[in-house]
Amino acid sequence: MPREEIDPRVVDDLKKVALEHRAWGRVDDETRWAPMLCRTPEPGKARMSQAETGGHARKLYSLFAKDRTAYLQASPKGAGAPGQTIVKESYHPQLLTDAEQKDVLEKGSRGRPAPEGVAGGGNFNPYSRDGDKMYIASKLVALYVMQKKPANTPGTDAGWIYGTVTPEGEVTSAGKVASCMGCHTQSKNDRMLR
């Protein structure tokens, strides 16, 4: 990765986010809320990326947001105030065998131990279907981070900084990352892609 894509002013922020983001909770984890829909609350679930190319392509992911309410209620005018941070945990998808898939479908995924490297255990469903195939989030690849600063902050994309962090905590990109901005600047929802 080109050196100019690492802004040293934000590296410490990204390292801190990598350490604390799991405490915020997954965006889609209902298990923290009292039942409202006459059904058991669902844990956060691995989702297959719709990206066809680039770093996000064909990966399973799970989202975390520092301010979950603001993230879920985001309008085209904004995803939250400065300080809002979104983390996309990205995993290699491991294709299940027919027997493994049948077992998951018959017995369900609840109570199954999460594979090594997958955070959350009982409050994360690491299984995802894509057509007639089923995958499991097998190995954490990277954390993709967006953090909002005041809009006039130098070195930001309309207030947003982007970054990637390895599972070991190494920041591999930080700041106005061209590969991130290539897609996020096209969003009509304050750089948020949904």
CA distance 187 to 137: 27
Predicted pLDDT of residue 68: 85
Predicted pLDDT of residue 192: 74
Q: Can you tell me which residue has the tokens 């995924």? A: 109
Q: In this predicted model, what pLDDT tens digit does every residue of 77-104 receive, in sequence order?
A: 556 789 999 999 999 999 999 998 888 8
CA distance 60 to 48: 4
Predicted pLDDT of residue 31: 60
Predicted pLDDT of residue 40: 64
User: Hey, how many other C-beta atoms are within 10 angstroms of the C-beta on 7?
Assistant: 21
Predicted pLDDT of residue 37: 60
CB 69 within 8 A of CB 58: no
CA distance 90 to 88: 6
Low-confidence ranges of the chain (pLDDT < 70): 1-4, 30-42, 74-79, 109-122, 194
Domains of the chain plus CATH, in order, are: 3-184 (3.50.70)
CA distance 15 to 67: 18
Predicted pLDDT of residue 109: 64
Predicted pLDDT of residue 41: 65
Predicted pLDDT of residue 156: 92
